[in-house]
Amino acid sequence: MQRMNENRPMENKPLGDLFSDLASDMSNLVRQEVALAKLEITQKGKYLGRNVGYLAVGGAVAYAGMLAVIAAIIMLLDKVMPAWGAALLVGIVVAGIAWLLIGKALAALQQADLTPRETVETLKEDATWAKQQIK
């Protein structure tokens, strides 16, 4: 629906209409910024969730394979040392490797940037625009 004064140049509009237009524009702008922030956070969340899922599935498959390899190594070392020593040695080596891999994965996840940068930038621009509209 078109308002009566909408086609007038800005300098010919009554002050009440100008403030009404400003309030309406600000309301639309805030709604659009919220929608942009939701979209940006959703996209980043999906990306992280998918990759964490791949990490979990890959870890489970690797775990099954490693169990078989570890058993074979222990059986091989059992020929040159007591079985308990072979199991202990292999267990220590595997635990060390696991510690290194977990540390690397945690460091990578901590580097993930979840800040909706695009939204922050447009909010700054919107604040500048609003200040100019009020002048």
Does 1 reside within a domain? no
Query: Alpha helices, DSSP H only, in 2-82?
Result: 15-77
- Of the listed ranges 3-12, 32-41, 46-55, the least confidently predicted one is 3-12
- Of the listed ranges 29-33, 42-46, 73-77, 129-133, the least confidently predicted one is 129-133
pLDDT at 2 > cutoff 50: no
Distance CA 80, CA 11 (A): 96
pLDDT at 24 > cutoff 80: yes
> What pLDDT, on a 0 to 100 scale, did the predictor assign at position 91?
93
> What pLDDT, on a 0 to 100 scale, did the predictor assign at position 22?
81
More confident residue, 68 or 109: 68
Does 25 reside within a domain? no
Rg (CA), the chain: 31
Does 52 reside within a domain? yes
> What pLDDT, on a 0 to 100 scale, did the predictor assign at position 11?
66
Does 130 reside within a domain? no
Q: Give the confidence band of 16 by pLDDT, cuts at 50, 70, 90.
A: confident
Does 127 reside within a domain? no
Mean pLDDT of the 58-74 span: 92
More confident residue, 5 or 88: 88
Does 129 reside within a domain? no
Range of the domain at 58: 30-122
- Residue with tokens 């999906």, as numbered in its chain: 46
Number of domains in the chain: 1
pTM of the model: 0.42
pLDDT at 3 > cutoff 70: no
Q: Are 114 and 41 in contact (CB under 8 A)?
A: yes
Does 49 reside within a domain? yes
